Structure 1
């Protein structure tokens, strides 16, 4: 099967979606697929990426609010790339222009699916509408979901990574939702040898509104007063506030190898955002055996509490976040080790990229494509 990913959510400095695309490529290539991706870049061109996929960049400008990301410039270059490749399936990862465009640009008969990486209506529209629109806020939120339904109606399937998200999309009448899950690099993120440095906490991820990272700024003084140290790794629109914060250690953007070392050396990992659609940070922490503090009822809690290594708190409540961190800190080493072993077993059972790739192929319509190829032969 020949698969093309098209997305503008592709950071030059890593990030969850880039990790997903690269990890997925390795797993699909190992299963005999040919994988391409079309993403914005500083210039138009093609190259063989380290993960084995062919990466086709289309020149486009940097986004003003986050210069790690770009948007596509000339969409005709996207069309040219798709016709050169001749895919069986196109997976779209950014949904507010591309669904209309890809349906027009892709060759006839190509199956087009979308992956729900970000919950824009709940994460951005609803909070901003409540803040600025008053009584008109519910109408704005309903309108944003109407846009989502219109966009995703153009897909043959909308893929998602968690039961929480699957339920939310079905509640909002998004058509043809398929949960495929996501994975973690189980070799890179191995089980740590101990329980981490007691009192050392970490956060790994984008410093942005959708991650609710500002909750960490509120929590940091209270954690420090309780004898805990918070280390923050990541970049994004909110980075300046973290650089200036006195009650935490800001590490900036770090490599995946350093992420592993940070998770190994931390007593626990904090995931403050209630709107996570999967939470790669939680998955990597679980693979390392590091307990996770996360909002109750979200995708991160689905992972961490399902693994027996989560400590939930009420979303958005800094007092509860601090209390959850203190509960983990109070556990003896033996209890932490039990959680670590349970978390690792869960990751090995549920978060293998090979398993994810097989579910993706089923969602892509692998059997249908195979039959079509046999008919052509």
Structure 2
């Protein structure tokens, strides 16, 4: 089964999507699946090769809002490439223009739209949520729902990584939604990586002693991640109990994030950690993950934190909320600094070590990314078999 992924969000210095597609290459079994990732980039060429596939780049313009990324702009060229590759399954992993290009391709492949992004939550709900209900916002953005319904018509499957997003898509009129939960890189994240000396070092960088609570935050410095809100909430909670926050990330919103830390010496901003083993050790050495984004489709960092034995302090909407386990952290009202500050206060005051022990006990049960891909490939194989059966019956 040859799977071609038209992947608009892949970049060599990207985040969750990069992790996802590169693991897909490793999870595929040579002779059973062949994976070809097609990404827009600086130039034409092969970016990476693996036993079961490769990542190829086609020259395309840079995306103006994030210069790490490019975007597909040449539909005839994309169609010609698909004609040459002759996939059994073609995936599109963006809800914007590239899936419409894939839907208009005349080839016979099974088409799968993988919802790696939730633009309504990331933008519309965030922009207008303070003044309007989601139902009202959905009516105002009915053009986007119509666009998604047209994509639903043009694809055989719409793959969602979380139950919450699947429910919203079905409520919006999509008929072909399949929930295939994602997972974490196997063999990397574990509570056994906890390093008390590293924990003390990170707290020292926050100007605090080892008896303080250490929170970790991971992710791009982008408006939808709401780092200024997280920082303000940590500052408020810190008046009751000493709380340090380590945030690892970078992005176009970095100036605002730095500005938000000026009133709190107990926050340390670091660059993204590219060494996955080191990142796993940092995660396991914290006391909880704190996350501000309610627009995640799955929330890979929350899953990695769970696999590291961390409680989660997450909003009550989006993929991060779906990761939450009662008694292992706290859920707060999405977009609310006050609610988040209270959640952090409660966590810091009510036996965080006990909650971490509970989370550590459950860590081994977090789904791996390889299990996700096994289920995804099986879903495609079943759909192809069903199509063949229907064709033979006709």
TM-score, with structure 1 as normaliser: 0.87
Deviates more, 1:273-282 or 1:77-86: 77-86
Out of 280, 293, 314, which is 1:260 matched to?
A: 280
Give secondary structure in 1 for the equivalent of 2:362: helix
Equivalent-residue separation in structure 1 for 2:337 and 2:132 (angstroms): 26
What residue in structure 2 maps to residue 318 of structure 1? Answer: 337
Whether the aligned pair in 2 keeps the contact of 1:269 and 1:282 (CA below 8 Å) is yes
**Runs (5+) with no aligned partner, structure 1:** none
Whether the aligned pair in 2 keeps the contact of 1:195 and 1:267 (CA below 8 Å) is no
Out of 277, 294, 300, which is 2:314 matched to?
A: 294
**Runs (5+) with no aligned partner, structure 2:** 200-211
What residue in structure 2 maps to residue 340 of structure 1? Answer: 359
Equivalent-residue separation in structure 1 for 2:352 and 2:250 (angstroms): 32
1:206 aligns with 2:220: yes
> How far did 1:117 drift?
1.6
Equivalent positions of 1:49-128 (< 5 A) are 49=49, 53-105=53-105, 108-128=107-127
Whether the aligned pair in 2 keeps the contact of 1:126 and 1:141 (CA below 8 Å) is no
Equivalent positions of 1:304-315 (< 5 A) are 304-305=324-325, 309-315=328-334
Deviates more, 1:147-156 or 1:36-45: 147-156
1:45 aligns with 2:60: no
Equivalent residue pairs, number: 369
Cα-to-partner distance string for 1:212-232 (whole Å, 9 max, x where unaligned): 333223224224444211111
What residue in structure 1 maps to residue 207 of structure 2? Answer: none
Give secondary structure in 2 for the equivalent of 1:29: coil
Equivalent positions of 1:230-269 (< 5 A) are 230-244=245-259, 245-246=261-262, 247=264, 248-255=267-274, 256-269=276-289
Deviates more, 1:56-65 or 1:75-84: 75-84
What residue in structure 1 maps to residue 209 of structure 2? Answer: none
Query: Structure 1 pair 132/96, CA: closer, same or farther in 2 (3 Å)?
Result: farther
Give secondary structure in 1 for the equivalent of 2:307: helix
Give secondary structure in 2 for the equivalent of 1:266: coil
> How far did 1:334 drift?
5.2
What residue in structure 2 maps to residue 330 of structure 1? Answer: 349
Whether the aligned pair in 1 keeps the contact of 2:182 and 2:298 (CA below 8 Å) is yes
Give secondary structure in 1 for the equivalent of 2:29: helix
Out of 278, 285, 300, which is 2:298 matched to?
A: 278
Query: Structure 1 pair 13/47, CA: closer, same or farther in 2 (3 Å)?
Result: closer
Deviates more, 1:61-70 or 1:283-292: 61-70
What residue in structure 1 maps to residue 232 of structure 2? Answer: 218
> How far did 1:13 drift?
1.6
Query: Structure 1 pair 310/174, CA: closer, same or farther in 2 (3 Å)?
Result: farther
Give secondary structure in 2 for the equivalent of 1:113: strand
TM-score, with structure 2 as normaliser: 0.84
Equivalent-residue separation in structure 1 for 2:348 and 2:182 (angstroms): 29
1:14 aligns with 2:14: yes
> How far did 1:191 drift?
2.1
Equivalent-residue separation in structure 2 for 1:200 and 1:95 (angstroms): 37
Query: Structure 1 pair 78/132, CA: closer, same or farther in 2 (3 Å)?
Result: farther
Cα-to-partner distance string for 1:79-111 (whole Å, 9 max, x where unaligned): 333222211001100122122211333x52111
Out of 227, 230, 248, which is 2:242 matched to?
A: 227
> How far did 1:31 drift?
8.0
